[in-house]
Chains A and B, each alone.
Chain A
Amino acid sequence: MPKILDLELKGSSLALRVVTGIIAAGITFFLLYYLPANFLSLLGQLVPAQALPDPSILNTLLSSLVNPSLPMIGLLLTVLVFLECLLRGSKAYGPILIISGLSFIAYLYLLFHGGTMTITLPASLLMGISAGVAVDLTVIMLLFMLPSLLTIIKGAVLMTKKSGP
Chain B
Amino acid sequence: MIIIAIIIAIGAVAVVAMTIAQSAPYVSLGQVSPNITDTVARIDIPVTIGNRGYLAFTDISARLSLKDSNGTTLVEGSGGPLTIPAGSTSTFVITITIDTAQITPELLQGLMTNSQNLTVNASLGGAIPPMVSLAASASGNFYWGAPFKSLQMGSPTFSTYNSTHLLITTPVSFDNDSPYFSISGPGSIRVVDANGQQVGSGTININAPSNTHFQGNLNIYFTIPTTLTESLLFNDSTLNYDAIVELPSFGMGGFSFSNPVSFDWNAPLNGFALGTPSISYYNSTHFKVSSLISFENHSPFISIDATVQATVYNTTSGSQVGAGSLTIHAPSGTTFSQNLIGYVELPTQYLDTLLFNDATLNYRADFGGTIQGYSFSMSKDLQVSWGAPVKDLTTGTLQAAAYNATHASVTLPFSFIDNSAFLSVQGTLTSTILLTNGAEVGTGDSYTLNVSPGATLSDDLTGYIKIEAVGQTSYILQLNFQTSYGSIIKEVTLHA
Contacts and interface: CB of A to CB of B under 8 A. Distances in A.
B142 A146 contact: no
A39 interface: no
A150 B13 contact: no
Interface size class of A (residues with CB under 8 A): 20 to 34
Interface string A124-141: 001111111111110110
A93 to B, nearest CB: 14
B273 to A, nearest CB: 68
Contact of A133 (B1, B130, B134): B134
Contact of B6 (A136, A147, A154): A147
Contact of A123 (B1, B127, B132, B140): B140
A115 B142 CA distance: 31
Interface of A is mostly: mixed
B292 interface: no
A15 interface: no
A144 B133 contact: no
A15 B215 CA distance: 82
Contacts of B1: 150
A130 B121 CA distance: 10
Given A131-B136, A146-B5, A140 B143 contact: no
B9 A128 contact: no
Contacts of B122: 131
Contacts of B135: 133-134, 136
B8 A129 contact: no
B483 to A, nearest CB: 101
A49 interface: no
> What 9 A-B pairs have minimum CB-CB distances, sorted nearest first?
A131-B138, A143-B9, A129-B140, A146-B5, A147-B5, A136-B133, A133-B136, A144-B9, A150-B2
29 contacts: A121-B138, A126-B138, A128-B140, A128-B141, A128-B143, A129-B139, A129-B142, A130-B138, A130-B139, A130-B140, A132-B136, A132-B138, A134-B135, A135-B132, A135-B134, A136-B127, A136-B134, A136-B135, A137-B131, A137-B132, A139-B12, A139-B132, A140-B13, A146-B5, A147-B3, A147-B5, A147-B6, A150-B1, A151-B2
Interface of B: 1-3, 5-6, 8-9, 12-13, 16, 120, 122, 127, 130-143, 179
